[in-house]
């Protein structure tokens, strides 16, 4: 990858270099994924800075998910992972004191759009993937962690079927942020059976290409899920009072 000459101000050098390399990467064709960046010494000469400045710039790029630093190899251009977006949103939520309720509201907005688009663009491959997911999800002996993972996967499969990559990204991010929330709904009495039944209802509506039924099934799934979580939290609060 060629780095053209760029004029740098003499403050925040590492950030300026990181910003410039980011521009080069983002303006490059996707075929450059997994390509190796020039080494630290070469970059230092190209930018006319010290190697520690370049090293700090590369760390910034790694935090942004644009490169991976590998010992003995160097910096490799990578595609940012969903976790990069998730961690950024999680930090924003904590700083701005955004509640779980607000997060679930946003999830509902995205999930309803997702299921409506999926009805229109669903393929046989999507149906097969969902059917496999529900078959595994219907095993009542699954450990909690695996059940929640399959729960997330089902909602991401619907988003994938929507044909909108950005929607799929954000549904994946929000479901991962709500992993503990989703687990609570499973832990109450009848939670497993309810989850299986509601996923099945959504799936059957999607297979039938019935947008109204799919929309209603998703609304009810998210509504009851919220109630189940509230029940779990109330049970926990009652249990704490009893111990006092």
Exposed/middle/buried for residue 30 (C-beta within 10 Å: 0-12, 13-18, 19+): exposed
What predicted TM-score, i.e. pTM, was given to this entire model?
0.76
Q: Is residue 1 in a domain?
A: no
Q: Is residue 29 in a domain?
A: yes
Q: Which residue has the higher pLDDT, 9 or 212?
A: 212
Query: Which range of residues forms the domain containing residue 172?
Result: 84-243
Region of residue 234 (phi > 0: left; psi between -120 and 50: alpha; otherwise: beta): alpha
Q: Is residue 4 in a domain?
A: no
- Residue 107 in tokens: 């999830």
Indicate if the pLDDT at residue 3 is higher than 70.
no
Residues 17 and 90 in one domain: no
Residues 40 and 65 in one domain: yes
| Cβ atoms 35, 76 nearer than 8 A | yes
**C-alpha closest to that of 118 among 153, 155, 147:** 155
Q: pLDDT digits over 173-198, tens only?
A: 999 999 999 999 989 999 999 999 99
- Residue 23 in tokens: 């521009």
Residues 135 and 46 in one domain: no
Q: pLDDT digits over 111-148, tens only?
A: 999 999 999 999 999 999 999 999 999 999 999 999 99
d(CA 47, CA 26): 19
Residue at a domain's end among 77, 100, 131: 77
Q: pLDDT digits over 59-88, tens only?
A: 999 988 899 999 888 999 988 778 888 888
**C-alpha closest to that of 61 among 42, 89, 38, 91:** 38
Residues 155 and 51 in one domain: no
Question: At which residue do the structure tokens 């929507």 appear?
Answer: 162
């Amino acid at each position: 990858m060629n780095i053209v000459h760029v004029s740098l101000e003499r403050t925040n050098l590492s950030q300026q270099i990181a910003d410039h390399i980011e521009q080069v990467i983002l303006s490059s064709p996707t075929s450059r994924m997994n390509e190796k960046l020039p080494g630290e010494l070469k970059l230092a000469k190209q930018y006319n800075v010290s190697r520690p400045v370049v090293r700090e710039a590369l760390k910034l790029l790694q935090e942004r998910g644009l490169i991976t630093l590998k010992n003995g190899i160097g910096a490799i251009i990578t595609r940012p992972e969903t976790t990069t977006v998730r961690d950024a949103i999680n930090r924003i939520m904590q700083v701005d004191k955004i509640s779980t309720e607000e997060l679930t509201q946003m999830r509902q907005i995205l999930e309803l759009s997702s299921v409506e688009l999926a009805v229109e663009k669903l393929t046989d491959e999507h149906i097969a993937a969902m059917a496999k997911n529900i078959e595994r999800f219907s095993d009542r002996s699954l450990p909690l962690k695996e059940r929640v993972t399959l729960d997330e996967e089902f909602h991401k499969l619907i988003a994938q079927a929507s044909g909108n990559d950005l929607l799929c990204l954000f549904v994946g991010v929000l479901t991962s942020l709500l992993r503990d929330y989703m687990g609570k709904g499973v832990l109450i009495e009848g939670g497993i059976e309810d989850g299986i039944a509601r996923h099945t209802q959504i799936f059957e509506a999607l297979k039938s290409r019935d947008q109204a039924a799919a929309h209603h099934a998703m609304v009810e799934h998210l509504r009851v899920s919220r109630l189940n979580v509230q029940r779990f939290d109330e049970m926990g609060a009652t249990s704490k009072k009893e111990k006092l």
